[in-house]
Amino acid sequence: MRRKRLPPGQKGADARGITSCAATGQVMSVLLWLKPGERTFARGGIHPAEHKELTATCAIESFVPSSVTVPVSQSLGPAAKPLVEKKDLVKRGDVIAEAPDGLRIHAPISGIVKNVQREPHPVLVHDTAITILAKPTDDEPEFPEQPGWMELSREVMLEKIKHGGLVGLGGAAFPTYRKLTLPPDAKIDTLLINGSECEPYLTCDYRLMLEDAEKVVLGAWTIARMIGVNRCLIGVEDNKQPAVEALRAAIERLGIESLPFPVAMEVVLTETKYPQGAERQLIEALTGRVVPRRGLPLQVGIVVQNVATAYACLEAIRNDKPVIDRVVTVSGLGIAQPKNLRVPIGTSIAALLEHCGGFNGEVVKVLAGGPMMGRALADLNVPVVKGTSGLLFLTRSETNLDRYGACIGCGECLDVCPLGLEPNKVSQYVEWGRPLETEVYGVLDCFECGCCSYVCPSNRPLVQFMQVAKTAYRNQARSRQ
């Protein structure tokens, strides 16, 4: 049944991956009484409690704080240089910083620049940031639809998303124009749009797909246009059925297949399983193709973009609106009113906390991102950046503060690792002070999804052990140079 969906020209490569994968999958689904036909990656994965009910029914609201602090580093790559100074007046959408590669940062609100100095940052701890005090002007920019946007050439579209400061909004914050600027010899046949949202608690992508399905679909179309492929799959986990229906209806309504650049677009249901939203796992789930070690998706003919990124692409191309805001899920049992909010980039977490009614009970952890891969914050005065998908306020009962013990060799981490790695061995070698002997156990393949730590009965911080080993290898490579 998977075989039918194979694109032409990929048979040789796919056949190998798919036959072994489909056969194993079939056997597994019989043995484990899985629902037949559900697509997922072949190996490993977990199903943590979703907790999406806290915000799944919360429609996206807007919230504009009285000031924003916009860090100049918000994507992988060189940091931007501030183009404004203290006391400058800026308008919403004005360029306020630009990186050497042309990626720009824009004013999320209109107002006066209060400061350009080092401020707390959710990922980098500290970073140069531009603080703007809100001061609405009479002619707020509205970003109306530009006529003829569909007829724009690929090059113009790419230019717009570069200048619009687009980065992957799923959390990785990789510059979108770089992902969409393909090497001349690349043979891409499929665009995957990632609507999996496999992290617990987060519902911002779900709400976006549900409320703005047409924009998501049109956004996917713009990306397909930019990379020149006529096939697009939108992967959504089966716990988001309403979003699936909304997307399917939108595809029907818009007639994507009869636009000037026709795209065969399909919404594909996947089994709800973490880390389905990881790029490689999604590719495997939807197409059966396996990205080679340290390879890129385009080596198997695929480009992946998140639904929120697709939405932002449309806004950048159709409305000339740069990335100045994003949807953030504010959730957890530790927040009084969980919400989905569209907020300007640079909104401080303290302001969001106040807007959502403050703490509810004893909060022991505040996270930027989901509970699996998100970061614990020490300071609530950090801003929302382009890669911030969620803010979680967790109480003691929701999170894990236990100490860890010795490896008892249960093998659970081997079972759940989606890559077939051996976190147990890596952790033991690191404990023995021999991190440079762990390559054989796959440590360099690890993308830190955290499934291993999640299941470990001894509560071992396996992801951190992996990081220690990876750092040791990086340092070794550096010292050899």
Partner 1 sequence: MSTDSLHLSYGPHIRRGRTTAEIMWLVNISLMPALIWAWIVFGWQVVAITLSSILGCMVAEHLACRLTKIPSTIRDGSVVCTGILLAFTLPPALPLWMPFVGALLGVLLAKSVFGGLGYNIFNIALIARAIMMATFPVEMTTRWLAPGLIGASQVDAFTGATPLAVMKAATQSGEALQLTGVPGDMNPWLSFFLGLQSGSIGEVSVLFVVLGAAFLLWHRIIKLYIPLSVLAGAALMAPYSDAPLLYMLSGGLWLGAFFMATDYVTSPSTPRGQIVFGLGIGLLTGIIRNWGGYPEGICYAILLMNLLVPALEEWFRPRRVADRGTPS
Residues numbered 386-445 forming contacts with partner 1, rule: CB under 8 A: 392, 394, 398-403, 405-411, 414, 417-422, 424-425, 441-442, 445
To the nearest whole angstrom, how small is the minimum distance from the Cβ of residue 282 to partner 1?
A: 14
For the record, the structure tokens of 420 come out as 């077939």
Q: Are β-strands 125-134 and 325-331 bridged in parallel, bridged antiparallel, or unpaired?
A: unpaired
Nearer to partner 1, 1 or 401 (CB): 401
Q: Which of 177, 221, 311, 454 touches partner 1 by CB under 8 A?
A: 454
Closest CA to 63 of 341, 274, 437: 341
To the nearest whole angstrom, how small is the minimum distance from the Cβ of residue 373 to partner 1?
A: 5
Name the residue type at position 197: E
Tokens 């991102």, located at residue: 369
Q: Which of 43, 91, 114, 342 touches partner 1 by CB under 8 A?
A: 43
Nearer to partner 1, 197 or 325 (CB): 197
Nearer to partner 1, 134 or 414 (CB): 414
Nearer to partner 1, 109 or 394 (CB): 394
CA distance 25 to 44: 12
To the nearest whole angstrom, how small is the minimum distance from the Cβ of residue 127 to partner 1?
A: 18
Count CA atoms closer than 13 A to 117's CA, side-chain side.
Answer: 3
Q: Which of 49, 151, 255, 481 touches partner 1 by CB under 8 A?
A: 49
Residues 199-228 that bind partner 1 (CB under 8 A): 200
To the nearest whole angstrom, how small is the minimum distance from the Cβ of residue 407 to partner 1?
A: 5
Q: Which of 126, 375, 434, 474 touches partner 1 by CB under 8 A?
A: 375
Residues in the chain: 481
Q: Does 350 bind partner 1 (CB under 8 A)?
A: yes
CA distance 434 to 429: 5
Tokens 């504010």, located at residue: 330
Q: Which of 103, 372, 385, 391 touches partner 1 by CB under 8 A?
A: 372
**Count H helices, E strands: the chain?**
13, 17
Residues 235-264 that bind partner 1 (CB under 8 A): none
Q: Which of 34, 159, 467, 473 touches partner 1 by CB under 8 A?
A: 467
Residues 12-31 that bind partner 1 (CB under 8 A): 12-14, 16-17, 20-21
Sign of CA dihedral 343, 344, 345, 348: negative
Nearer to partner 1, 113 or 373 (CB): 373
Stretch near partner 1 under the rule CB under 8 A, chosen from 6-14, 213-221, 232-240, 253-261: 6-14
To the nearest whole angstrom, how small is the minimum distance from the Cβ of residue 468 to partner 1?
A: 11
Stretch near partner 1 under the rule CB under 8 A, chosen from 11-19, 64-72, 112-120, 215-223: 11-19
Nearer to partner 1, 284 or 325 (CB): 284
Check if the beta carbon of residue 352 is closer than 8 Å to that of residue 366.
Answer: no
CA distance 126 to 92: 25
Residue span 277-306 as binding mask against partner 1, x where in contact by CB under 8 A, dash where not: -------x----xxxxxxx---xxx-----
Q: Are β-strands 325-331 and 339-344 bridged in parallel, bridged antiparallel, or unpaired?
A: antiparallel
CA distance 165 to 324: 9
Q: Which of 92, 453, 469, 470 touches partner 1 by CB under 8 A?
A: 453
Closest CA to 420 of 398, 443, 399: 443
Residues 6+ apart with CB under 8 A from 81: 72, 97, 98, 99, 100
Nearer to partner 1, 166 or 463 (CB): 463
CA distance 61 to 211: 11
Nearer to partner 1, 46 or 56 (CB): 46
CA distance 390 to 52: 12
SS3 53: helix
Nearer to partner 1, 58 or 451 (CB): 451
To the nearest whole angstrom, how small is the minimum distance from the Cβ of residue 125 to partner 1?
A: 11
Size of the site for partner 1 (CB under 8 A): 87
DSSP conformational letter for 151? G
To the nearest whole angstrom, how small is the minimum distance from the Cβ of residue 234 to partner 1?
A: 22
Residues 165-194 that bind partner 1 (CB under 8 A): 187
Sign of CA dihedral 391, 395, 397, 399: positive
Q: If DSSP states are collapsed to H, E and C, what string results for 373-424?
A: CCEECCCCCCECCCCCCEEEEEECCCCCCCCCCCCCCCCHHHHHCCCCCCHH
Q: Does 265 bind partner 1 (CB under 8 A)?
A: no
Residues 132-161 that bind partner 1 (CB under 8 A): none
Nearer to partner 1, 183 or 409 (CB): 409
